[in-house]
Amino acid sequence: MPHPIPPGDTVPRRVTMTDVAREAGCSQSTVSVVLSGDRSIRISPETRRRVVEAVAALGYRHAAPRQLPHRPAQHRSEDEPPRRRGRSHTAWVMHEIGCRIVSGSYPEGALLPGDAGLMQEFGVSRTVLREAMKTLSGKGLLNAKTRIGTRVTARAEWHLFDPDVLVWHAEVGLDAAFLSALGEMRLVLEPEAAALAAARRSPEQLAALYAWVDRMSGAGNSRREFVDADLNFHLEVARTAGNPFLRAISTLIEVALVAALTRSSPVDEPRGVENSAAQHRAIADAIATGNPEKARAGMRLVIGEGIRRAGN
């Protein structure tokens, strides 16, 4: 018979990687890569910071990677694919196949090579390969059927809000149509996030918003400094809105904004940094004074300017 729990006490629940991913607003595979210390996968500093903060806030304890026995180096021909050291094998295989699907190397409707061929190409076990395939199927990219094989699904079935799928699109290159669609989604989501932030902001959040505006103003001719400050301002607005769904789509904001600013930045225009910083400060002022309409309008203006620059 189980021992009764004293009134007011609760059974502590073990924090999982899923909890960390939910708190950080990213995928479990992203959390796994960050915790492994692997820098070969391109994950933005902001995302890495969110994962570290989520781990600290939740008290998540992750096991250190198991040390594999030393094996003597083997000769590898130039045609043999390189092994990615320091990276989870499953995460690497998932990343490689995901990028091939998104880029069209494995086109919609195509059957993937058989397990034996992929296991040989990537140098992984059947367990690792199937775990990667299972994760990709969960993201809507693959559909496996017995005695038929694993087929790439139609793009309409892909989970485009999934952080990994968005990042893979960015890695293989965003075409004009996809970038335009991302801009439209920002226009749908971020003005409302700004309006919510105007009703829910805290003094600490306002201080963070103004700090990022100041960083934008001081970016000068540094494209990297400006992108970092601009991105963090928009992510801070989403956090200030206090809606967990907006936190969950932070990768969409990140991919869209960085892609747009990579094509054309206010740094490249006369007084561009000054004007953009002033527009972002107007958003912060509207949030600070609790004016949702001005916050919405200010955010629409900023996003519209970004779409205009990216289209030029």
Cα separation, 92 vs 132, whole angstroms: 9
Q: Report the pLDDT value the prediction gives residue 129, as an integer from 0 to 100.
A: 95
Instruction: With cut-offs at 50, 70 and 90, classify the pLDDT of residue 37.
Output: low
**Percent of the chain having pLDDT more than 90?**
47
* Domains 89-157 and 174-311 fall in the same CATH topology: no
Nearest to 44 by CA among 220, 257, 281, 203: 257
User: Which tens digit of pLDDT belongs to each residue from 184-209?
Assistant: 999 999 999 999 999 999 999 999 99
Q: Report the pLDDT value the prediction gives residue 56, as an integer from 0 to 100.
A: 65
Q: Which fold has domain 89-157?
A: Arc Repressor Mutant, subunit A (1.10.10)
Write the CB contacts of 181 (distance below 8 Å, at least 6 apart in sequence): none
Q: Would you kindly state where each structural domain of the chain is located, as residue ranges? A: 17-58, 89-157, 174-311
Residues 80 and 120 sit within 8 Å (Cβ to Cβ): no
User: Which tens digit of pLDDT belongs to each residue from 91-105?
Assistant: 999 999 999 999 999
Return the CATH number of the domain spanning residue range 174-311: 1.20.120.530
